[in-house]
Amino acid sequence: MQLFNSCCGKGFDGKKKEKTEPSWRIFSLKELHAATNSFNYDNKLGEGRFGSVYWGQLWDGSQIAVKRLKAWSNREEIDFAVEVEILARIRHKNLLSVRGYCAEGQERLLVYDYMPNLSLVSHLHGQHSAECLLDWTKRMKIAITSAQAIAYLHHHATPHIVHGDVRASNVLLDSEFEARVTDFGYGKLMPDDAEDGGAAKTKNNNAYLSPECVASGNESEMGDVYSFGILLLELVSGKRPIERLNPTTKRGITEWVLPLVYERKYGEIVDQRLSGEHVEEKLKKFVLVGLICAQTEPEKRPTMSEVVEMLMNESKEKITELEANPLFKDPCNSNGNNREQQVAAENSDAIAEEKDHDQQEQE
């Protein structure tokens, strides 16, 4: 606890913080009760696996989102404090880091800045989806900035952090529709004995989870890359990561996108709500990068830094290079080509036979 008190009112790194960046601190339960109208139902923003999130307003007028964790029981308090401190140290303009916490009695609460444009999922599939506020330019910006945030976690944060839960509901949007990736590093923070621990996570997170992560239950950087690939395809197409085709059949987004890429039908992949405002070359690049990230074999996936580089690279040669990846060659079509060659060969044999036959008749 000493650790936290010594940090109150200052950034951890001791550098002068910008005015817009609120300082880290411990909140009292009383203060959070006052801010959220005693966790009133009307203040509730939603509910995740680890608890409910409430909108609140502090005495200085600033708006916060308070995550009230459930099932906090047996762990030592210092574990919570230490883990929260580690996460709160991680600062990047496209990450939504925890702003403070409250640990009183059985209550454990995490405090964040309130994001007025809520989550990406609410714009793609939820309450804001009909308004279509996310135009093509905003989507590209969200893709690049969320990739940068995850790359920062993987390659620059100390310690390096595996997000472990990359998905559209964890990409929040600020007033400028800039991405703020949140809920990173929860694997360590959340208690092992939480009533809906690992199993529920695997179940709920299924659509974004890499095959190796489903098999082993272990999170990894390559697993984050896979999840990001799914997120990218979702962002471009506006489709859910898994679609139910009928009561018994489901289809993953890659299963739908890949055949369209084989036929180079990118225009059928893009979200039809965007009514043609996309740039063809950029659309192609985002789709190809999404699929390259969401490959089954983890060793074939790029790192998140490479993903950022690919998304930002404007050269046409790079797109041609991406498109030449064997992943985008239709295995059936190559059989089809063989078949075409076979049919052509059979036809030329038949023509030759016909010629022979004609010649014989003339003789």
Of the pair 47, 77, the CB lying nearest ligand ATP is at: 47
Among 46, 187, 252, 298, contact with ligand ATP (rule: CB under 6 A): 46
CB of 225 to ligand ATP, least distance (A): 18
Q: Is 49 in the site for ligand ATP (CB under 6 A)?
A: yes
Sheet holding 100-104, edge to edge: 25-26, 100-104, 107-113, 63-69, 51-57, 44-47
- If you search the block for the tokens 């030449």, which residue do you land on? 324
User: Rg for the chain (alpha carbons), in Å?
Assistant: 26
Minimum CB distance to ligand ATP, residue 329 (Å):
36
Beta-carbon count within 10 A of 325 CB: 13
Q: Which residues pair with 100 in a beta bridge?
A: 25, 111
Token pair belonging to 147: 């990739």
3-state secondary structure of 120: helix
Nearer Cβ to ligand ATP (21/306): 21
* Residue 145, amino acid: T
User: Could you tell me which stretch among 31-39, 45-53, 271-279, 346-354 binds ligand ATP (CB under 6 A)?
Assistant: 45-53
Which of 79, 113, 165, 174 is catalytic? The answer is 165
Using CB under 6 A, which residues numbered 180 to 239 contact ligand ATP? Answer: 183, 204
**What does the chain come to in residues?**
363
Q: Is 67 a known ligand-binding residue? A: yes
Judged by CB under 6 A, the residue of 84, 103, 115, 270 near ligand ATP is: 115
Q: Which of residues 151-180 bind ligand ATP (CB under 6 A)?
A: 165, 169-170, 172
Active-site residue, 165 included: yes
- Secondary structure of 121-171 in HEC code, one letter for each residue: HHHHCCCCHHHCCCCHHHHHHHHHHHHHHHHHHHHCCCCCCCCCCCCHHHE
Nearest approach in angstroms of CB 294 to ligand ATP is: 19
Q: Between 64 and 83, how does the x/- string for binding to ligand ATP read (CB under 6 A)?
A: -x-x----------------
Binding-site residue ranges for ATP = 67
Residues annotated as part of the active site:
165
